[in-house]
Amino acid sequence: MNEKTRFMLALITPAALVLILFQVVPILTGANASFRDWTLHDPKRTWVGFANYLHVLRDAEFRDIVLPNTFGFMIATVACSLLLGLAIALMLNKRFPGRWLVQSFVLLPLMVAPVIAAIMIRWMFNDQFGVVNAALEGLGVAPISWLTQRWTTFAVILLTDVWLWTPWFALILLAGLQSLPPEPFEAARIDAASAWRTFRYITLPMLRPVMVVCIVIRAIDAFRTFDIVWTISGGGPARATELFSLYAYVEAFQFLNLARGSAAAVIGAIIIIVFALLLYRVLNRFVEVSR
Amino acid sequence: MDIAAVPARSAGFFFALAPRGRAVFFALAAIAACLLFAFPVFWLILTSLRPGTGVYYVHRGTEFTIDNFHEVLSQEIVLRALFNSFMISTLATVLSLGVTATSGYMLSRFKGPIPNAWFSLIYIFRCVPYVAWVLPLYFVTQQLNIFDSYWGLLLPHIAVHICFFSWIMKGFFDGIDPSMEYAAMIDGCSRWGAFWRVAMPAAVPGLTALAILCWLYTWNEFLFALILTAHETPILTVVMAQFVHELGMEWHLMSATAVIALVPALIVTLFGQRYVIRGLRI
Amino acid sequence: MADIVLSNVHKVYGHVVAVTDINLAIKDREFVVLVGPSGCGKSTTLRMIAGLEEISAGTIAIGGRVVNHLQPKDRDIAMVFQNYALYRHMSVRDNLAFGLRNRRVPAHEIAAAVSRAARILSIEPLLDRRPHQLSGGQQQRVALGRCIVRNPKVFLFDEPLSNLDAQLRAQMRLELKELRLRVPTTSIFVTHDQTEAMTLGDRIVVMKDGVVQQVGTPLELYRKPANRFVASFIGSPSMNFITVRVSADGEHFALACQGWRFRLPARRFPHLGSHVGRSICVGVRPQHVRLGAALNDDQIALNGAVTVTEQLGDEQLLAVRLGDGEIRIAGVDPDLSLPTGSQIEAAIATDHLHFFDELEQI
């Protein structure tokens, strides 16, 4: 082993150690546990093969509620934050008086913990004393009991996530917009392109690589959402708004079945890894095209 | 064929508005954006300043008090949680930066099977959902006897940071010209010396930006804290979430706790914004 | 008619004056080159004509119509940018068609215009490719195609050849000249390269620091530079300048500096009279210095020691110490062996001397 190789390995040894001990080992332990009968109160640890996996996959809760919830949430939050973030980025790309003020406000959510955002918005949508219902009453509309029905709870969760992540999109898209070369836009002015045509045929396609990266990163993270769902609804009402990470947590720490929780977690991990690899390929293709 | 004689027409109602109309529309949109993002925070702060009885009519009452803060801060668990969160965030930042800097440097400066393998490893683990390894981590930390302690939280956090921040570190080092390091090595520096004394100082702006982001991220983190701590090491985000589920109606106290948790984040953001922008320009 | 008239055009950015009092009259179908060093205001002037920059003062008229307040799209112009500015995610065909589509031109006319432009520029096989799949020269041709396709009154070029390597640049210059024959259009071409200016322009406008220094045909600028800047800018290798002192010497003027002295008949150079007793600058092109003795009275002689030689294959370039300065000589026989320090004799025809007072031609 030559000196260069030794140096390379030395550089990553501490990181590799931490990674192995605190990611590889737990994942393997979890995978191992998923194949055994392992409840927290009675860890028999006998091998049961794929019994846990089958149980999860056959669980109506998982199939009919958790998976659709998770994918639906992922698609909805990414789409909304992207559109809203793009609109804000376009707005902030122009100079106007007070821009720094708008920019500061828009970037507020970036420093707020998801848990705090969830608390804030849950309070706003409180059915008796929340400001949203008070406003509705003021407009003559009957107050809605937000957190007792599935779809309204979902709407609140979605709103929280969009509130949290739109500024992230806006920031990155703004940086992308500002890095676009000015000449094609000048050529478009000479080519009589209207503002809309310029946006659709020039701005948007040139922003595509940045947008794709954002979408991939955010989609992967949205899949794993836990904090805000836990804080707003705890997965309720009656487990109707559970996302996949909550499902695993509930199995492990409420039903005290570590094995089933791990099985659920592994299934989710596989889904997301496959998804991530596919998206990575798509991403690479886009980055090629746009040199 | 005098093509140019055909006047170009713009599309859409928005642009049919007179410039004055457009400006009004724009201003309204800007105000709407500000309101949307600032309102929840404003409401939270307002609620935290209302006394317990007034919380029921936050928008109509006129009394203001800071008793909520007194009450919240007098609870031992909150004070301990504040302290712990602060220590964990700071320690995790310092340690993570050290570990990810070398990792990112290696990915930037070298090519071949080892860097590729490391890159793939990191990418895969970045995608694995936390829940898949935090659940068993509960078990592993107990086996290692570090459950519900600083190390039990720090090390998993560092593991996550490695996956997140190695990329960004790689980007920083990609932006630093390697010729300086070659020159140093020709001048007699070892590879370590070149890394420490040439590459790292040049990466300081990026490191500062990353330190701020890392601190904020750890300060706001929830899932690990929830699973890997119990009573010995309360963490602020978990304490807040528990208040939500346990305290039920006492929103004035809850919002006070949340505001307290917001303050350090606000300070770090305001202070560090400049460095983050400068550092990420690399 | 597509003549362009700039009257008293100024451009100011805040407190910085970029362009001062430009007056130009460009005839229909003329190819005019704006040339000068970076920051001289040539691109700014071009962009004002295009409508991409606001005009601070003065008027610009295209085809007799004042265009100060017209949008670029309404000025009937086309522009080629330095880095081509092609729409990189559209095919070549779509790049060419974009401007026409925006103007709601019927599809069959667009197709006809696109294939005509592609034929003229020989880019037909490239129509379905994307810009990043093309070489630099091909991209430049597509950019030219975008101009031709709309048949505008004016072509504007903003340093289009600067991003190409030397060989490609020479080739593109030829192609541009051929294009001119097939599609003669009023053109304004901006460059910092004097070779491009000289080879391409019907007339050249030399600019410096926002001010027009001289306007003229290439030969006029070469033979009769209006001031020292133009003299040094046009022609390669650039002109030699020597500071000499003028004194009266009977029917002659004596011009002298350290290491060199010569006389000029007062009859033929009366304008030197007002500079007696002062220093002026003498300019002579390296190509006009000939090795050998002065043959007659219309030539002046100089002597000096060779410092550096540069072998170019078909000629040599010499640098010769003259007094406390250097003079460069071009067109020297490549077979001559002239080691450093060797003394040489050279002669200059008096017709080839230029005189400058401070900066102006005397």
Mean pLDDT, rounded, of chain C: 90
DSSP one-letter code for A257: B
Nearest CA in chain C to A291: C132
What is the rounded distance in angstroms from the CA atom of residue C53 to the CA atom of residue C74?
Answer: 14
| Mean pLDDT of all residues in C295-314 | 89
A 55-94 residues inside an 8 A Cβ radius of B: 87-88, 91
Given this model, what pLDDT does residue A288 score?
A: 54
What phi and psi values does residue C153 have, to the nearest 5 degrees?
Answer: -80, -30
What is the rounded distance in angstroms from the CA atom of residue B24 to the CA atom of residue B27?
Answer: 5
- A vs C, Cβ pairs < 8 A, gives 69
Given this model, what pLDDT does residue C362 score?
A: 63
Say if the Cβ atoms of B251 and A226 lie within 8 Å: no
What phi and psi values does residue B222 have, to the nearest 5 degrees?
Answer: -125, -50
Question: Using CB atoms within 10 A of its CB, is residue C73 exposed (0-12), middle (13-18) or buried (19+)?
Answer: buried
Q: How many CA atoms lie within 13 A of A270 on its CB side?
A: 7
What is the rounded distance in angstroms from the CA atom of residue C209 to the CA atom of residue C36?
Answer: 9
| Mean pLDDT of all residues in C140-169 | 90
Instruction: Give the tokens for residue B281.
Output: 């320009």
Instruction: Give the tokens for residue C12.
Output: 């100011």
Q: How confident is the model at residue C361 (pLDDT cuts 50, 70, 90)?
A: low
What is the rounded distance in angstroms from the CA atom of residue B162 to the CA atom of residue B156?
Answer: 10
**pLDDT digits over A129-165, tens only?**
788 888 888 888 888 888 888 888 999 999 999 999 9
Given this model, what pLDDT does residue B219 score?
A: 92
Given this model, what pLDDT does residue A79 score?
A: 93
How many angstroms separate the CA of residue C75 from the nearest CA in chain B? 9
Q: In B, which residues are within 8 Å of C105 by CB distance?
A: 3, 6
Given this model, what pLDDT does residue B1 score?
A: 37
Residue for token pair 């409180």: A126
Q: Which of A253, A274, A271, A247 is nearest to A55 (CA)?
A: A247
Residue C96 has pLDDT above 50, yes or no: yes
Given this model, what pLDDT does residue C208 score?
A: 93
Given this model, what pLDDT does residue A262 score?
A: 84
Say if the Cβ atoms of B222 and A88 lie within 8 Å: no
Alpha-helical regions (H) of B230-250: 236-247
Query: Looking at the predicted complex, does its ipTM rise above 0.85?
Result: no
Given this model, what pLDDT does residue A291 score?
A: 38
For chain C, helix (H) and strand (E) counts, in that order, are 8, 21
- Is B223 in a helix, a strand, or coil? helix
Give the global pTM: 0.81
| Mean pLDDT of all residues in A111-128 | 87
Beta-carbon count within 10 A of C104 CB: 11
CB C35 within 8 A of CB C197: yes
Given this model, what pLDDT does residue B5 score?
A: 37
Residue for token pair 């589509």: C101
Question: What are the residues facing B244 on neighbouring strands?
Answer: none
Given this model, what pLDDT does residue A187 score?
A: 92
Q: How confident is the model at residue C359 (pLDDT cuts 50, 70, 90)?
A: low
Given this model, what pLDDT does residue B17 score?
A: 56
Instruction: Give the tokens for residue A258.
Output: 């570590």
Q: Would an 8 Å CB–CB cutoff place A213 in contact with chain B?
A: no
What is the rounded distance in angstroms from the CA atom of residue C311 to the CA atom of residue C336?
Answer: 10
Say if the Cβ atoms of B130 and A245 lie within 8 Å: yes
Q: Would an 8 Å CB–CB cutoff place B215 in contact with chain A?
A: no
For the ranges A31-35, A83-87, C145-149, C192-196, the lowest mean pLDDT is seen at A31-35
Q: In B, which residues are within 8 Å of C109 by CB distance?
A: 1, 3
Given this model, what pLDDT does residue A281 score?
A: 79
What is the rounded distance in angstroms from the CA atom of residue C141 to the CA atom of residue C163?
Answer: 13
Residue C311 has pLDDT above 90, yes or no: yes
Residue A290 has pLDDT above 50, yes or no: no
Q: How confident is the model at residue A286 (pLDDT cuts 50, 70, 90)?
A: low
Given this model, what pLDDT does residue B138 score?
A: 83
Given this model, what pLDDT does residue A284 score?
A: 67
State which residues of chain B have pLDDT below 50.
Answer: 1-15, 282
Mean pLDDT, rounded, of chain A: 85
* Cβ-proximal residues to B20 (8 Å cutoff; 6+ apart), any chain: none
Instruction: Give the tokens for residue C52.
Output: 């991409």
> Phi-psi category of C144—alpha, beta or left, where left has phi over 0 and alpha has psi -120 to 50?
alpha
Given this model, what pLDDT does residue C155 score?
A: 94
Say if the Cβ atoms of C130 and A184 lie within 8 Å: no
How many angstroms separate the CA of residue C48 from the nearest CA in chain A? 13
Given this model, what pLDDT does residue A164 score?
A: 94
Say if the Cβ atoms of A113 and B33 lie within 8 Å: no
Composition of chain C by helix, strand, coil, percent to 5 = 30, 35, 35
**C-alpha A76: how far from its chain's center?**
10
**Pairing state of beta strands C316-322 and C299-311?**
antiparallel
Given this model, what pLDDT does residue B128 score?
A: 76
What is the rounded distance in angstroms from the CA atom of residue B222 to the CA atom of residue B153?
Answer: 11
Given this model, what pLDDT does residue B29 score?
A: 85
CB C214 within 8 A of CB C23: no
Which positions in chain B have a beta carbon within 8 angstroms of at least one beta carbon in chain C?
A: 1-4, 6-9
What is the rounded distance in angstroms from the CA atom of residue C315 to the CA atom of residue C337?
Answer: 12
What is the rounded distance in angstroms from the CA atom of residue B185 to the CA atom of residue B208?
Answer: 26
Alpha-helical regions (H) of C183-251: 194-200, 218-223, 228-233
**pLDDT digits over C14-71, tens only?**
889 999 999 999 999 999 999 999 989 999 999 999 999 999 999 999 998 999 999 9
- Compute CA distances C241 → A245, C327, C332, C362, whole Å: 81, 8, 19, 14
Rg (CA), chain A: 24
Q: In C, which residues are within 8 Å of B3 by CB distance?
A: 100, 103, 105, 109, 113, 150-151
**pLDDT digits over C2-19, tens only?**
899 999 999 999 889 999
Q: In A, which residues are within 8 Å of C50 by CB distance?
A: 190
Q: Which of B1, B3, B9 to mutate to test the interface with C (most CBs of C within 10 A)?
A: B3
Which amino acid is located at C84 in the chain?
Y
Those chains having 3 or more beta-carbon pairs within 8 angstroms of chain C are A, B
**The dihedral formed by the CA atoms of B240, B243, B248 and B252, expressed in degrees to the nearest 10:** -60
Residue from the list C87, C99, C132 with its beta carbon closest to the beta carbon of A192: C99
| Mean pLDDT of all residues in A184-197 | 90
**C-alpha B84: how far from its chain's center?**
17
* Cβ-proximal residues to C130 (8 Å cutoff; 6+ apart), any chain: A289, C88, C89, C90, C91, C92
Q: Which of A185, A189, A191, A208 to mutate to test the interface with C (most CBs of C within 10 A)?
A: A191
Given this model, what pLDDT does residue C268 score?
A: 87
* Cβ-proximal residues to A221 (8 Å cutoff; 6+ apart), any chain: none
How many angstroms separate the CA of residue C73 from the nearest CA in chain A? 5
Say if the Cβ atoms of C151 and B2 lie within 8 Å: yes
